[in-house]
Amino acid sequence: MKHVIVGAGPAGVTAAETLRKADPDGEVTLVGGEADPPYGRMAIPYFLIGNIADSGTFLRKSDDPYDGQGIRYVQGIAEDLAADDGKLTLADGQQLDFDKLLISTGSHPIKPPIDGLDLPAVHHCWTLQDARDICGLIGEGKDVVLMGAGFIGCIIMEALALSGSNLTVIEAQDRMVPRMMNKTAGDMIANWCRSKGVNVMTSAKVTGVAEDGGKLSITVDNGETLPADLLVVATGVRSNMDFASGSGIDMDIGIKVDDHLQSSINSIYAAGDVAQGPDFSTGGWDVHAVQPTSVDHGRIAALNMAGHDVTYQGSLNMNVLDTVGLISCSFGLWQGVEGGDSSEKVDTANSRYTLLNFDGDLLVGAVTLGRTDHIGVLRGLIQSRIRLRGWKDKLMEDPNLFVEAYVDLTRT
Amino acid sequence: MVKALHIVVDDCTGCQQCEMACSYKHEGVFNPAKSRIKVFEFKDQGRSVPYTCTQCSDAWCMQACPVDAISVNTQTGAKEVSGDLCVGCKVCTIACPFGTINYNHTSGKVDKCDLCGGEPACVEICPTPALTFIDAETTGMEKMRYWAEKTDQGQTAQT
């Protein structure tokens, strides 16, 4: 059996390792699109601030983790997919034959249609190479503008701020991290960031970027014009699936996969940021571009490719973010469900916030700010569908007791 | 033979000496807030519940780590965090459905129970049979497995 995995992020690497064990006699080929060995995007901020070398971001630290483990590693960009023939063509002309293919090509950042975003001082911070390019442009006295305060923008915001740069963040929505935080929590994060010296603008849009005397000049629709040595664009990503567009595979915002991570073509699976798979909370289909989902996808897709029959319960949308020292988390249906109760505790003075959303006596979503201890039990409570019984009333009174609720309900 | 930390809730008196011992062993200070085992008090029930990592086989923390910083100690079976490799991204803290791997604001990295390399300080200090370190197969791991399976992302049918 010839297994080809195209895309060597967390989903692809996990799948390759799982396949290597689950199908000892099969051939496993892993195709990475970048010059660097497979690395973890979540580690990039720590490289940017100089805590770790670039090698500290690598997904695997052992010597020769791919070819040395019986995983053939190939570098190249996928260009064409001939599903019926079982052939994947790379940009350099190389053809890879497969019996089973996993698409784990991730996503790429997009730029909104604004004049001037092609200037040399405008960068994304998506790949490890992007981070290297940015390193020389940040530091004391540099004017840096970050466009987009979503999750991706925010994970590098701290590094940009800690570099000593004069940092301005511009977010088009009415709050920071709008896809992970409600207005209360998003505003608390913005106020925290301002107290740390970051200039935060919300409900503000960049309307144009020009070069002016060796610097960028960034025009914002709130009337301000900002000088900048660097503009980082973090306004969203799109799945990398163009190479498969002629294959007839079903795609929407990602490659559509079923509860076995199998696509509309039997021999092809998808995992990670490129996969539009089952959503645990809604029962629908979505892209959850987060590390835990990627590795779960990779593992389960690989087991199914190896001939096992493993059903995926769906991914839980969840995130953890550190914005200049304030740690925030969101889980599941943090916006709540119709007819469901909510329990909220706001402690503005200490930048602490807890929101729990229930459906009956099940926890279905949560947002926290300023707390980290035992935070994972929120996943446990939601995904194990633990009936809260008498704890529901206690949590309605004080949502901060969720760890006590979990321990009491599961340790008898 | 792999041993496991066995917790018998009914035998816990809530003395919190395990928290002190853990904190001292790992952090060099007697501070329950820095302990990797925590005793939850349910006063209305008169119940104290020691709580820490069960070294579960699913190891969500280890699987979710983007930088290979968590590995299995082959001697003890413990999932251990490498302070050198951990970057402090906290992904493991939301991936673990038991909430037993936590961010340490002082070190900027994550902490979890490492079974003290095979001689758990909490077990040594525990004055009752609430905490013991015994053959993994005879502990109450069934309960742990039950909750692990309930959270599991992939349910294996016929293989």
Report how far residue A227's alpha carbon sits from residue A294's, in angstroms, rounded to the nearest whole number. 38
- Helix ranges (H only) for A196-321 are 291-305
Burial class (CB in 10 A: 0-12, 13-18, 19+), B11: middle
Q: B86 lies in a domain?
A: yes
Going by their DSSP bridges, the two strands A78-82 and A87-90 should be labelled as antiparallel
Q: A280 lies in a domain?
A: yes
pLDDT of residue B36: 97
Contact B94 A331 (CB under 8 A): yes
Among B51, B68, B155, whose Cβ lies nearest the Cβ of A411?
Answer: B51
- Chain B residues with CB-CB distance to A59 below 8 A: 66-68
Point out the domain boundary residue: A191, A218, A233: A233
Q: How many domains does chain A have?
A: 3
B159 lies within 8 A of chain A by CB:
yes
A375 lies within 8 A of chain B by CB:
yes
Is residue A230 within 8 A of residue A137, CB to CB? The reply is yes
The residue type found at A9 is G
In terms of domains, do A25 and A91 share one? yes
Contact B97 A383 (CB under 8 A): yes
Domain region containing A198: 122-233
Q: A113 lies in a domain?
A: no
Domain region containing B95: 56-112
* Closest Cα in chain B, distance from residue A65 (Å): 11
Instruction: Dump strand ranges (E) for A221-274.
Output: 225-228, 230-233, 237-239, 255-256, 268-270
Residue in B with minimal Cα distance to A310: B156
In terms of domains, do A340 and A282 share one? no
Q: B62 lies in a domain?
A: yes
* Closest Cα in chain A, distance from residue B60 (Å): 8
In terms of domains, do A296 and A276 share one? yes
Largest CA distance in chain B: 50
Provide ipTM, 2 decimals.
Answer: 0.95
- Chain A residues with CB-CB distance to B14 below 8 A: none
Q: How many domains does chain B have?
A: 2
In terms of domains, do A346 and A381 share one? yes
In terms of domains, do B89 and B124 share one? no
- Residues A287-309 have pLDDT tens digits of 999 999 999 999 999 999 999 99
pLDDT of residue A412: 74
In terms of domains, do B91 and B76 share one? yes
Contact A374 B159 (CB under 8 A): no
Question: Residue A278 belongs to a domain with what CATH number?
Answer: 3.50.50.60
pLDDT of residue B12: 97
Q: Mean pLDDT in runs of 10 for chain B (159 residues)?
A: 90 97 96 95 95 93 97 95 97 97 96 97 97 79 64 49
In terms of domains, do B43 and B60 share one? no
In terms of domains, do A166 and A199 share one? yes
Q: CA-CA distances (angstroms) from residue A148 to A237, B74, B158? A: 12, 45, 46
Give percent of chain A with pLDDT exceeding 90: 99
What's the first-to-final CA gap in chain B, in angstroms?
28
How many C-beta atoms lie closer than 10 Å to residue B35's C-beta?
A: 25
Residue in B with minimal Cα distance to A314: B153
Look over chain A and give the mean of its residue pLDDT values, rounded to a whole number. 96
Q: B124 lies in a domain?
A: yes
- Chain A residues with CB-CB distance to B98 below 8 A: 376-377, 380
In terms of domains, do A202 and A346 share one? no
Contact B93 A384 (CB under 8 A): no
Q: A115 lies in a domain?
A: no
- Chain A residues with CB-CB distance to B99 below 8 A: 373-378, 380, 403, 406
Among A41, A61, A310, whose Cβ lies nearest the Cβ of B85?
Answer: A61
Among B60, B68, B90, whose Cβ lies nearest the Cβ of A60?
Answer: B68
- Residues A196-206 have pLDDT tens digits of 999 999 999 99
How many C-beta atoms lie closer than 10 Å to residue A412's C-beta?
A: 9
Question: Residue B76 belongs to a domain with what CATH number?
Answer: 3.30.70.20
Reduced 3-state DSSP string for A151-186: HHHHHHHHHHHHCCCEEEEECCCCCCCCCCCCHHHH
Report B:109-128 residues touching A (Cβ under 8 A).
none
Residue in B with minimal Cα distance to A293: B64
- Chain A residues with CB-CB distance to B67 below 8 A: 40, 42-43, 56-59, 61
- Chain B residues with CB-CB distance to A363 below 8 A: none
pLDDT of residue B150: 67
Give percent of chain A with pLDDT exceeding 70: 100
- Chain A residues with CB-CB distance to B158 below 8 A: 309
In terms of domains, do B89 and B121 share one? no
Which of A379, A386, A409, A412 to substitute to test the interface with B, most B CBs within 10 Å? A379
Which of B80, B91, B102 to substitute to test the interface with A, most A CBs within 10 Å? B91
- Give SS3 for A67: helix
Point out the domain boundary residue: A289, A305, A321: A305
Q: B158 lies in a domain?
A: no
Contact B89 A43 (CB under 8 A): yes
pLDDT of residue B157: 42
What does the radius of gyration of chain A's CA atoms come to, in whole angstroms?
22
How many CA atoms lie less than 13 Å away from A225 in the CB half-sphere? 8
pLDDT of residue B136: 75
pLDDT of residue A298: 98
pLDDT of A161 over the 70 cut: yes
* Closest Cα in chain B, distance from residue A12 (Å): 12
- Chain A residues with CB-CB distance to B51 below 8 A: 407, 411
Size of interface A-B (CB pairs under 8 A): 160
Among B40, B102, B155, whose Cβ lies nearest the Cβ of A404?
Answer: B40
B140 lies within 8 A of chain A by CB:
no
For the segment A320-347, the average pLDDT, to the nearest whole number, is 97
In terms of domains, do A245 and A215 share one? no
Q: A315 lies in a domain?
A: no
- Chain A residues with CB-CB distance to B156 below 8 A: 303, 308-310
Q: A328 lies in a domain?
A: no
Q: B152 lies in a domain?
A: no
Is residue A270 within 8 A of residue A261, CB to CB? The reply is yes
- Chain B residues with CB-CB distance to A15 below 8 A: none
